[in-house]
Every structure is written in C-alpha cells, then in structure tokens.
A = this chain, B = another copy of it.
Amino acid sequence: MKKEEDPATGMLSIPGFPVVLVTVARNIMTAAAFSFYSFKPPCVMVGIVPKRLTFELISEKREFGISIPRADQLEIVGMCGSISGREADKFTKTGLTPMRGKVIESLLIEECPVSLECEVVHEVDFGGTHRWFIGEIKAAHIDQNYTRDNALMYWAREYRRVGEIIPVEQK
C-alpha cells in the first residue's frame, strides 16, 4: 500500500545515479547529477550548482572531462566533493595524476579507469538549483581492465556499489 509523500521525499526515493569526477581546467568536482543525453551525436550532460567554481570554469572553457572512478576510489571521490577548488588544488590535495587529453585542454585523471573528453554543445538553464551542460563526447580513454562492476553510484546521502547483472531470459 502506497502512502502520499511530499515531492522532495519522492525525489530521494530514486535508486541512484553514476558517480563521476568532472574536470575542467585544473579543477575536479564530484557529481552524481550526470546523465546520458543522446546517442547520435554522443552526448552526456552534467548538472552544476551555479555558485560552484566548476560552473564558472565550464561557462568559460566550454568543455569538461568526465572521469569514472572505481568504488575503491571512494575516499578521493569524497575529497573532491567536499573541498572547493577555490581553496585548494585538488590534484595536489588528493595526489591524483593529471592526464592530458587529446581534444580538450582541461586535465583528465590518470588513476580513473575511464575518461571522456567533452565539448559543451548546449546549456540547459531554466532556473532551479542546477544548470546543465550538454557535452559531446569527442574522445574516450578506457583502461583495458575496466569493468562497470566496480563503479560507484550515489543518491540521498548514500554511496553504493553497482549491483550484479541480472540475466534476462531470451524468449
């Protein structure tokens, strides 16, 4: 039996979104407000609170990197989500190694198994807490041992592992 709850509680009932590290220039930000946008052209989108340094930097540079961390990198993910790039250089603070991309000038993260280079093609700004940048994936760098099994999800103050694959019967 379902009970009526307020819309904010409804929002928190969503299972979870993939955790990514958004890089722009030399800054790193943790985000779960990250989504697919389109297969052709291949675009993803990331939602940023306008007061963040990352918002300023993406607005200016028109590009961003997406690095997908592993669950065992949670400590670094937490650090990048709690420190502001206005106060500290997060590469220095976390010990992560900056990696040069092929297309964008913003740095990527060597230690993450996946890095995507994205150029901003559109902005979605209708007010609200977040503004979204749609980025076309221009290049991808993937570790040969990468498996999505070790990825991280986040929502409603909970980090989770990605769960096991459910086999689907072919009928």
Q: Which residues of A contact B (CB under 8 A)?
A: 1-11, 13-18, 32-33, 35-45, 47, 68, 71, 74, 78, 99, 102, 113-116, 121-122, 124, 126-130, 132, 134, 136-144, 146, 148, 151-153, 155-156, 158-166, 168
Contacts and interface: CB of A to CB of B under 8 A. Distances in A.
Q: Is the interface of A mostly helix, strand, loop or mixed?
A: strand
A30 to B, nearest CB: 12
Contact of A39 (B11, B78, B99): B11
Contacts of A160: 162-166
Given A7-B136, A32-B36, A160-B162, 9 more contacts: A1-B143, A9-B140, A17-B35, A36-B47, A37-B47, A40-B129, A41-B128, A71-B166, A161-B164
